[in-house]
Amino acid sequence: MKYLDLIQEKKPLIHHLTNWVTIYDCAQVTRSLGALPVMAHAKEEVPEMVMLASALVLNIGTLTKDFVEAQILAGKAANKKGIPVVLDIVGCGATKMRSEASEQILREVKVSLIKGNYGEISVLAGHDAEVRGVESIGGSDKIDEAVMSLAKSHNAIVVATGKVDIIGDSEKVLKCEEGHEMMGKVVGTGCMAASVLGSFLSVCDKNEHLDAAFSAMMYYGKCGERAASKSEGAMEFKMRFLDEIGIQKV
Amino acid sequence: MKYLDLIQEKKPLIHHLTNWVTIYDCAQVTRSLGALPVMAHAKEEVPEMVMLASALVLNIGTLTKDFVEAQILAGKAANKKGIPVVLDIVGCGATKMRSEASEQILREVKVSLIKGNYGEISVLAGHDAEVRGVESIGGSDKIDEAVMSLAKSHNAIVVATGKVDIIGDSEKVLKCEEGHEMMGKVVGTGCMAASVLGSFLSVCDKNEHLDAAFSAMMYYGKCGERAASKSEGAMEFKMRFLDEIGIQKV
Amino acid sequence: MKYLDLIQEKKPLIHHLTNWVTIYDCAQVTRSLGALPVMAHAKEEVPEMVMLASALVLNIGTLTKDFVEAQILAGKAANKKGIPVVLDIVGCGATKMRSEASEQILREVKVSLIKGNYGEISVLAGHDAEVRGVESIGGSDKIDEAVMSLAKSHNAIVVATGKVDIIGDSEKVLKCEEGHEMMGKVVGTGCMAASVLGSFLSVCDKNEHLDAAFSAMMYYGKCGERAASKSEGAMEFKMRFLDEIGIQKV
């Protein structure tokens, strides 16, 4: 696949400011794809680190005020350099702080791709939905509409993950039905998807972002299916899932 | 088993403020049980997140002054809401800071269940014991007495983990001999036990807490035994252990 | 092997102030070796925790200003107690902050062993090299010279990891060709090596440090080879690698 080949060839550095729960998995999935992960969050160094990077992945899973400020600094540097920024709005809608942080980052940083589960994306689009902690409870009614309206207002690609992943811009949505229910039993599959999206976006132009995001989710889902067919439980699945991603077979 | 069925049915949110070493494992074991984990520690959001939760799990494994303050804020919110609070006193007795943090949290928050290894529980009960880092060296002499006296002074369930797990209240102790020595070779089995205890307590009333805690430890130990019988090393064991927990077979 | 037997026998406490990405793996590899890991970074407690420890491992992988200060406090306490200090200069050369932190720690703390990949060690020695995030791009031309000059100026053992690991003091370098390319596909093998080095150094005298460091890298590499022969992907490899380390067979 074009994007996978380009990642292998260019070994892009993917700079993350992510959460403390799945930080290892985000780094590893990036490495398995053939890209180079770096996790760095000190305000003193993020602008400089971004200058070495080919994409920036922001995730508010275990946010603090200070951490969000570092993310904004990094995001502004990424905008200056012109590299894609992926924002994973973990828990948006669960607390006021998470909703406000999502909006603040989107206000101050030009984000290329917004990712969340059905609930998070619905809440951010101003629809009704319940987010219990970091889990989506419902929010699927008008998800296509939520994706497109968010895409329009932020001039970004939007990815809403769920049983069917919705990948859209302001004009259309694509649906990815690949994947396996086992993915929902493993903590971190959502966060890792953002790293995969960031890696795919890092090797193409803005006009290819929708295609790259769709390809990323299709590849991710297929790897999940292959891994599930060989695994007896969630943790064995997680191991084999990452190893399927590393094989880079389409 | 009643508690496992209830967890599956209610999908309780288990809010953790835990350490940075085993934070993933605490989240995953909660997810494997069928509950929903959330890790959030910003002072600005913990009171609001607690309001969505059915139990709160506190762990001082990589404490800082600021983090303990966030734990106390979360604990007070949990008390207000009336949900169970589990406190894992990791390293209590190893440093003054850890002993004081344990006592401070217990002074300011009504804790439902105190968990530690033999050494930590012995030290907190005022007995002699050595805690080397986060490992118990001895402290088993009068462990039943330590458990009951702590349970009495804090009106809480106390769980002391070791070769035999001691689960007690102010009047009696129950002994859980399930488990496998392999569990001691994996970093995080203690921390994950606190998440399992929190999940079990989240679905029952206070008068069932002793039974729920005992059932949790029995289930945890049995899953360990089953996993050990299929594993060649500590990491293979860890994978299979979490997968056994996910099967929810008693 | 002498060092492995001593670790088993003494169960040394290895105090880490490390990064948030691989903190679990650093703890687990230490435990698998038979030593006791502890991760503690609060300024209030590090000097006291160091007093219980037999070695200190510092890693700047996700550094902040505050964290480096805590590392220096811990390092000074370790010097006072006379236990070995291992410093892993993750990303030295990638940003000014990482290069300065490496130099500041080395100025204020007497470090027993400096570890980095070819790029990081080359940069610290004042040679030309590229460090992309935390990955070495080149820097292998005069690596023996870089190792010995750094060893001389800091009166320390220096370990440069790469296809061939270079372990040296001011007078000579030893080369470890054990290992497997799979190790480069797993995030954290570098960080875990520092924990293994710290564990080996913790059970011997200063005049044996070069031999202990070489033995550690040989053992680590051999475990990697054995694990690779049984594994199909990077994550299965990681599991079996840690389990090989736990077998303690030379």
Residue type, B67: F
**Which residues fall within 8 angstroms of residue B167, CB to CB, at 6 or more apart?**
B147, B157, B158, B159, B173, B174, B175, B176, B210, B213, B214, B217
Which residue out of B46, B199, B239 would a mutagenesis test of the A interface target, given it has the greatest number of A Cβ atoms within 10 Å?
B239
* Contact between A54 and A62 (Cβ < 8 Å): no
d(CA B177, CA A210): 56
C-alpha angle B22-B24-B28 in degrees, rounded to nearest 5: 120
**Which residues fall within 8 angstroms of residue A155, CB to CB, at 6 or more apart?**
A110, A170
Report the half-sphere exposure of C56 (CA within 13 A, side-chain side).
Answer: 32
pLDDT tens digits for B187-200?
999 999 999 999 99
Nearest to A188 by CA among A75, A47, A30, A21: A21
* Contact between C46 and C70 (Cβ < 8 Å): yes
Place of tokens 């019988």: B229
Q: What are phi and psi of A191, to 5 degrees?
A: -60, -45
The verdict on a CB contact (< 8 Å) between C187 and A44 is no
Q: What pLDDT score does C248 carry?
A: 80
Task: Tell me how far CA of residue B119 lies from CA of B99, B141, B143, B178, in angstroms.
Answer: 12, 10, 9, 20
Domains, chain A, in order of start with CATH, read 2-245 (3.40.1190.20)
d(CA C227, CA C241): 5
The verdict on a CB contact (< 8 Å) between B41 and A62 is yes
C238 in contact with B at a CB cutoff of 8 Å?
yes
Based on its alpha-carbon atoms, the radius of gyration of chain B, rounded to whole angstroms, reads: 16
A242 in contact with B at a CB cutoff of 8 Å?
no
Nearest to A50 by CA among A88, A20, A83, A89: A83
Lowest mean pLDDT among B199-203, B246-250, C104-108, C180-184: B246-250
Q: What pLDDT score does C250 carry?
A: 73
DSSP structure class, residue B95: B
Specify the 3-state DSSP secondary structure of B132: strand
pLDDT tens digits for B153-203?
999 999 999 999 999 999 999 999 999 999 999 999 999 999 999 999 999
Place of tokens 């969340």: A116
Specify the 3-state DSSP secondary structure of C229: coil
Q: What pLDDT score does C1 carry?
A: 78
CB-closest option in B22, B61, B95 to C45? B95
d(CA C18, CA B246): 31
Position C138 pLDDT exceeds 80: no
**Consecutive H or E run containing C70:** helix C65-81
Q: Where are the alpha helices (DSSP H) in chain A?
A: 2-10, 23-33, 46-52, 65-81, 96-108, 118-124, 143-154, 189-201, 209-228, 234-247
**Which residues fall within 8 angstroms of residue B166, CB to CB, at 6 or more apart?**
B143, B144, B147, B158, B159, B160, B173, B174, B175, B176
B48 in contact with A at a CB cutoff of 8 Å?
yes
Higher pLDDT pick, B215 / C128:
B215
Nearest to C69 by CA among C96, C108, C38, C37: C108
* Contact between A70 and A29 (Cβ < 8 Å): no
**Which residues fall within 8 angstroms of residue B128, CB to CB, at 6 or more apart?**
B122, B139
**Residues of chain A where predicted confidence (pLDDT) is lower than 50:** none
The verdict on a CB contact (< 8 Å) between A63 and B52 is no
Position C164 pLDDT exceeds 90: yes
Which residue out of C7, C17, C45, C231 would a mutagenesis test of the B interface target, given it has the greatest number of B Cβ atoms within 10 Å?
C45
User: Per-residue pLDDT averaged across C176-201, rounded?
Assistant: 97
ipTM score assigned to the predicted complex? 0.97
Task: For B30, name the nearest residue in chain A, comparing CA atoms only.
Answer: A187
CB-closest option in C96, C132, C235 to A13? C132
Question: How close does chain C come to B38, measured CA to CA in Å?
Answer: 18
Q: What pLDDT score does A162 carry?
A: 94
The verdict on a CB contact (< 8 Å) between A44 and C97 is yes
Q: What pLDDT score does C139 carry?
A: 67
User: Per-residue pLDDT averaged across B22-42, rounded?
Assistant: 98
Q: What is the pTM of this model?
A: 0.97
Per-residue pLDDT band at C86 (split at 50, 70, 90): very high
User: Per-residue pLDDT averaged across B112-127, rounded?
Assistant: 96
User: Per-residue pLDDT averaged across C61-82, rounded?
Assistant: 98
Position C135 pLDDT exceeds 90: no
Per-residue pLDDT band at B95 (split at 50, 70, 90): very high
Strand partners, B116: B160
Q: What pLDDT score does C244 carry?
A: 97
